[in-house]
Amino acid sequence: MDVAINMTDTETARAPMLVLGLGNILLQDEGVGIAVIERLQRRYRVSDEVELLDGGTSGMSLLDDIRSREHLVVVDAVRTGKPAGTEVVLTGDEVPAFLCNKVSPHQLALSDVLANLALMSESPHQVTVIGMEPLSLETHLGLSKLVASRLQSLTDRVIEQIAAAGYQVEPLDREAWNNNLSLMTEA
């Protein structure tokens, strides 16, 4: 197996914006946040000032990735009681409420991280949560048809956030798509 590995640079400059996909890809629509990250990585050219990260279901190990960012955009499956496939965008004061009301399966891990950052005075300056109501959380690799059909729309919401912050995102021509990614969410 020949795998070209791009080693992480030992000291890279940090991008001011982090787009963080959270979720478990083994639980169907739970992985929608990861699917958005993979789509952005595969089909778009995103400014160097924006880092795209598949955070999985990690907690404290994301601390360093999140600290002191200008913008943190969390992409995740969220449950607010609205119909499956509904897009949810939370900003400002809605975010802590989101974390407290446990509408996301990962909110505890993420709130641990954010609490520690607050104590260290290294909170991200602006936090936005972009989510979608899941249809199915069954044990299965791959999104439900409904959520898969709305993945592009959810990705567009994230792109709007990136653009609103003043950073570039350009769609790639189909020939230029990066097919070297694991692409488990689109398999």
- Comparing CB distances to another protein, the nearer of 21 and 85 is 21
CB 58 within 8 A of CB 108: no
Closest distance between another protein and the C-beta of residue 158, in Å? 19
Binding site for another protein (CB under 8 A): 1, 3-8, 10, 24-27, 30, 54-64, 92, 95-96, 99-100, 102, 105-109, 111-112, 114-116, 118-121, 123-127, 139-141, 182, 184
Q: Are 168 and 47 in contact (CB under 8 A)?
A: yes
Distance (Å, rounded) from C-alpha 55 to C-alpha 34? Answer: 8
Closest separation in Å from C-beta 113 to another protein = 9
Least distance from another protein to the Cβ atom of residue 106, Å: 7
Q: How far is the CB of 29 from another protein (least distance, A)?
A: 13
* Helix runs in the chain, H state only: 32-43, 63-66, 94-100, 107-119, 145-149, 151-164
